Structure 1
Amino acid sequence: MNLENQIYVRKSCRDYLDGEIDIKIIHEFIANAKVLNENIDYYYEILTPDKLNIRTPWKSPYYLALFSEKRDNYLENIGFVFQQLCLFMQSIGIGSCWVGMASLKKRNPDFVIVISFGKSNNMTREISQFKRKKLSDISDTEDERLVPAQLAPSAINSQPWYYKHVGDGFDVYQAKQNFLKRQVLKKWNPIDVGISLAHMYVANPDSFEFFTKSGFEDIKGYTYTGSIKI
């Protein structure tokens, strides 16, 4: 299955149609999705809007509630795994959107974030319609191989990822936000970095490798997330 082309047309969907979805294919995809760390336990539930407190002006027929144990890179892992699902759903006519403005009515300490999804006729765009930082702003050297990461969605379009060339891959960093943005984005930006890593994996499925190391360069204004080979 080649999902790479979905990276260049996907947009966050907030306009849904009524209609049932074959949930079985979603379960099957998630069961086979690649993870960043196999030692992190995560799970999900498919919910209807009445099970959530939703603070957006729009709603969808389905919501995916995501849960995880709290270990190193658990937020990045959630973004990595479930952005693969978003690209897959896009490929079969199902729109999706990461929703930070939603919570469970029944509290669960493992809860991380929600993804809305449903059938839609308004979930693609031309690549010229993406509003993203320049490649030179997300890396130490402009590199076309990073276009998939460049096009990743993020909370309030903050685009917090930074890729530094190292050998045959990259060290990956997350931007430190100012005080005000940090109050909003402290939980979402690690997920965003995971989403960008998912795009790098989807574009390089046969060679992608994620790992962490102790010998990385400290970069002012950024924190180290991990390293990849592509």
Structure 2
Amino acid sequence: MDLSEQIYVRKSCRKYLDDEIDMSAIKEFMDNVKPLTREINYSYEILTKDKLNIRTRWKAPYYLALYSDKKDNYGVNIGFIFQQLSLFLQSLDIGSCWVGMASLKENNPKFVIAISFGKSNDLTREISQFKRKSLSEIADTEDERLIPAQLAPSAVNSQPWYFKQSNEGFDVYKVKHNIVKRKILGKWNDVDIGIALAHLYISNPETFEFEVKDKQDIKGYTYVGSVKI
């Protein structure tokens, strides 16, 4: 299934209907999803809103609670895996939104983040409605292959990624925030990076490769990994 077209119309959904959803399609998709790092164990469960503490003004009928072993790059891996599911849900006319302001009522130390989802009449937008940094602001080259990453959602639209061209593809970096922003966004920016990488994978499924190399940080950014697309 080609999900790449969903990247150019998707919006973070905050208006939901109460319609029931057949969850079997989610399970089937997740049985075949591509992880970024196979060495990290992760899982998910589908919950109703009464099982979470939700600090948003809006609520959805369903939530995905995402869990992971807390190893290096676990947040990136979670973002990568479940943004694929988000695009798949979009293809089924099911809206979704990453929800940083939610926690489980029953504590689980492996909990990372939640995703709201449900049927909606407010699913898509035009490409002109995306409010994103220019390619020159997120990369050292205006390579149009990076547009899918440019359009990726992120916590408060912070777009914390930076791509530096290399001989084999791109080195991927995460912005270094000041202490105030780090307290607010630092927890979610690894997930954001994974979401952007998922868009690159969905757009280049046959050629995408990710590897963590021995690379130095650059001014204002922390090295995350390197991709071939």
TM-score, normalised to structure 1, is: 0.98
Output one character per residue of 1:121-152: Cα deviation in whole Å (capped at 9) or x when no partner: 10100000000000001001111010000000
Task: Tell me how far 1:18 sits from its aligned partner.
Answer: 1.2
2:60 paired residue number: 60
Q: 1-side partners of 2:65 and 2:84: how far apart?
A: 15
2:33 paired residue number: 33
Q: Which amino acid aligns with 2:218?
A: I
Q: Which amino acid aligns with 2:108?
A: N
* Residues 1:145 and 2:145 are matched in the alignment: yes
List gaps (5 residues or longer) in structure 2: none
* Residues 1:105 and 2:101 are matched in the alignment: no
1:164 paired residue number: 164
List gaps (5 residues or longer) in structure 1: none
Q: Which amino acid aligns with 2:117?
A: F
The alignment of Structure 1 onto Structure 2 pairs a total of residues equal to 229
Moved over 4 A (4+): none
SS at match of 1:66: strand
Q: 2-side partners of 1:19 and 1:112: how far apart?
A: 27
Output one character per residue of 1:73-112: Cα deviation in whole Å (capped at 9) or x when no partner: 1000000000000000000100000000100000000000
Task: Tell me how far 1:217 sits from its aligned partner.
Answer: 4.1
* Residues 1:82 and 2:114 are matched in the alignment: no
1:205 paired residue number: 205
Q: 2-side partners of 1:107 and 1:140: how far apart?
A: 42
Which shows bigger deviation, 3-12 or 171-180? 171-180
Q: 2-side partners of 1:68 and 1:46: how far apart?
A: 15
2:217 paired residue number: 218
Q: 1-side partners of 2:225 and 2:123: how far apart?
A: 31
Output one character per residue of 1:20-52: Cα deviation in whole Å (capped at 9) or x when no partner: 111010011111111111110000010001100
Output one character per residue of 1:47-70: Cα deviation in whole Å (capped at 9) or x when no partner: 001100000011100000000001
Identity among equivalent positions (%) equals 69
Q: Which amino acid aligns with 2:27?
A: H
2:226 paired residue number: 227
Measured on the aligned residues, the alpha-carbon RMSD in Å equals: 0.7
1:115 paired residue number: 115
Q: Which amino acid aligns with 2:71?
A: R
Q: 2-side partners of 1:155 and 1:162: how far apart?
A: 15
Q: Which amino acid aligns with 2:121?
A: N
2:125 paired residue number: 125
Task: Tell me how far 1:218 sits from its aligned partner.
Answer: 2.8
Q: 2-side partners of 1:154 and 1:178: how far apart?
A: 18
Q: 2-side partners of 1:167 and 1:72: how far apart?
A: 25
1:22 paired residue number: 22
1:183-198 to structure 2, matched below 5 A, reads 183-198=183-198
Task: Tell me how far 1:168 sits from its aligned partner.
Answer: 3.0
Task: Tell me how far 1:180 sits from its aligned partner.
Answer: 1.2
1:73 paired residue number: 73
Q: 1-side partners of 2:116 and 2:56: how far apart?
A: 11
SS at match of 1:170: strand
SS at match of 1:113: strand
